[in-house]
Amino acid sequence: MFPVVANGLQQTTSYKVVLPFYLYAAIAFLFGSILLFSHSEIGQQHYFNPRTLAITHIMALGWGTMIIMGASHQLLPVLIGGKLYSTMLGYISLFFLGLGIPFLVVGFYTLDFGILSQIGAILINIGVLSFFINVLKSVSQKKELNIHGWYMATATIWLLITTGFGLLLVYNFSFNFLPSDSIHYLTLHAHFGIIGWFLMMVFGVGSRLIPMFLISKYQNLKILRLIFVLINCSLLLFIIIKTINLTYWFYGLPLLLIGCSLILYIRFCANAYKVRIRKNVDLQMKASLLSVGQLVLPLVIMFLIFIFFNVKRQTNWGTLYGFVIFFGWITAIIFGMTFKTLPFIVWNKVYHKKAHLGKTPAPKDLFSNQIFYSMMLAYLLGFFIFIFGIIFNNETLLKIGALAIIIAAMLYVINVMIVFLHKPLTK
């Protein structure tokens, strides 16, 4: 166990199990961005089409889930004050997820819900189950689990539910054993992942890391517990309403609960920011805080979809909703947190045995701030231009926006590789 360093993290898990997740995610993000540019017309279409399904699952699994899993192997011991149960389970998760995602994506891209998609879904579930066991066994070692541990454990349960239900939907396309067709259940599957996995995990980890990186002593366990209850209740209520086919307007109840949880989390982050000791906030933290603000966009879109449900011509609202989540909120927080956690992991890999020999660079010196700044500029331009392309149904804007996102993805990969290939420097 290494001592806490300047950014507040500890080296608790071998870099060998953590770093491959980051590399896989970087490649997946670039590939997803290229597909978005190649098929930018999806911004003008209904969300259920092969190209959108493929891009969504690259971003949700290859980008978001892979990097969160990788970071979790490092952060879980820090958050719960214990050790990761099994490094081997980490490798198993990486192998099966890494192998299963391409099968699933190719199956969706070719609209083949047969053997390719089925193999991919099975492999992904083996990987997720391994991760689930690792997290649950790790947290079970603690006699008293803190609120961040509860968030991570619950998010992992929802992830397993998400991929398990996805496996059922893939097979239901071929064998029709569920009461309705698979398309009927897509909103359930999507929100198991978006709310149960991503929102729960990001709130649980973010409520610890954002104050830590800001050097802020602000904590409010009462608000965090309330947010935890609101998120889970909203998702359970959504399942009940969907399952027993209640009147459409009942969906306003889980939407209201989620809205309250978002407002409380934004307030939590704002309070942490106000009482921070570190007055000069770096670009990486600004990106993470930007992602907190971006949470408002999917909420606004959901309210608009809810209110104007009968406006049939707005067939691409679902696509807009997915875009602002996977290319917006999730991407922005990954941008920020990648370059707060990855440099530290590599720094420990390279320097932890050499630090006593002389002056070593700080973790923040392992990547290029200029490239990070250019990446964020390209990303923000692309993000908002693509949104306007969807709203105004304009193919030119969609292409320009997607191209800017590709540039951001390329710069992200370059900066990640700069960190990965860092050589020891001592004075």
pLDDT, one tens digit per residue, over 63-85 is 999 999 999 998 888 888 788 99
Q: In this structure, how many other beta carbons lie within 10 angstroms of the beta carbon of residue 333? A: 27
Measuring CA to CA, which residue among 8, 113, 93, 26 is closest to residue 335? Answer: 26
- Give, in order, the Cα–Cα distances in Å from 305 to each of 48, 157, 236, 258, 273: 16, 28, 20, 15, 32
Res 359: pLDDT: 77
276, β-bridge pairs? 216
347/361 Cα distance (integer angstroms): 8
Please tell me the pTM assigned to this model.
Answer: 0.93
User: Which spans in 39-142 are helix H?
Assistant: 50-57, 66-80, 87-109, 115-140
338/412 Cα distance (integer angstroms): 10
CB 233 within 8 A of CB 264: no
Query: Residues 347-359: pLDDT tens digits?
Result: 988 887 765 556 7
CB 80 within 8 A of CB 142: yes
Q: Tokens at residue 218, please?
A: 């602000």
Res 5: pLDDT: 43
CB 151 within 8 A of CB 205: yes
Res 304: pLDDT: 85
Res 155: pLDDT: 98
119/11 Cα distance (integer angstroms): 36
CB 389 within 8 A of CB 395: yes
Q: In this structure, how many other beta carbons lie within 10 angstroms of the beta carbon of residue 395? A: 12
- Give, in order, the Cα–Cα distances in Å from 217 to each of 203, 287, 289, 324: 17, 21, 17, 31
Instruction: Using the structure block, give the residue that is written with the tokens 């053997």.
Output: 115
Residues of the chain with pLDDT under 70: 1-12, 309-315, 354-358, 426-427
Q: Tokens at residue 144, please?
A: 């008293």
Res 87: pLDDT: 93
Q: What domains are there in the chain, each with its CATH number?
A: 15-420 (1.20.210.10)
Res 2: pLDDT: 32
User: Which spans in 141-182 are helix H?
Assistant: 147-175
User: Which spans in 244-352 are helix H?
Assistant: 252-274, 283-294, 296-307, 317-323, 330-351
